[in-house]
């Protein structure tokens, strides 16, 4: 019985962790998407001329 109760507490905490990781991951993906695809907030190294020269 005690073991069962312990297992079930572990399960609850594990599920909570999984939920936290999922929420954070999805948020992070959304922020990354907004940052790159919408705001285009990144550095573009214009090395086209160098590439042509090479």
Partner 1 sequence: MEILYCPWDPAVNIFFSSNVPLLIHYSHFIAIFSALAMALLIFMSNPRLLVSRLYLIFALLFSTWALLDVSLWATNDPALVMFSWSIQVLLEPLIYAIAFYLFYLYLYRRPPSLKANITVTALLLPLILLLPTIYDLQDVHLSTCEATEGPLAKYYTYFLNLFFVALLIWFGKKRIPQLEVGKRKIAVLFGAGLLTFLLSFTSGNIISSFTDNWVISQYGLFGMPIFAFLIAYSVVRFEAFQIKVVSAKILVVILWASVGSLLFIDASLLNVTIGLTLVFTTVAGYLLVRSVTQEFRQRQQLERLTAELEHANDRLKELDKMKSEFVSIASHQLRSPLTSIRGYASMLSEGSFGKLPAQAQEAVDRIKEASRLMSLSVEDYLNVSRIQSGNMKYELSDFNLRDMVMKIVADMRTEATHNGLSLTFNDTLGEVEGLTHADIGKTNQILHNLIDNAMKYTPKGSISVLVSALPEKRILRVDVKDTGVGMKPGTIEKLFEKFRRADNANGVNVSGTGLGLYIARKMAQDMKGDVTAFSRGEGTGSTFTLTLPLVA
Contacts with partner 1, residue ranges (CB under 8 A): 10-11, 13-14, 17-18, 20-21, 24-25, 28-29, 31-33, 35-37, 40, 42-48, 50-51
Torsion 23-29-31-33 (CA) sign: negative
Beta carbon nearer to partner 1, 1 or 43: 43
The CA distance from 3 to 49, in Å, is: 68
* Least distance in angstroms from the C-beta of 4 to partner 1: 13
Residue entry with tokens 């109760």:
5
Beta carbon nearer to partner 1, 1 or 45: 45
């Amino acid at each position: 019985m005690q073991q069962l109760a312990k297992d079930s507490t572990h399960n609850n905490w594990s599920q909570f962790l999984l939920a936290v990781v999922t929420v954070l991951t999805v948020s992070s993906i959304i922020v990354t998407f907004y940052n790159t695809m919408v705001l285009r907030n990144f550095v573009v190294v214009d090395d086209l001329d160098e590439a042509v020269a090479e």
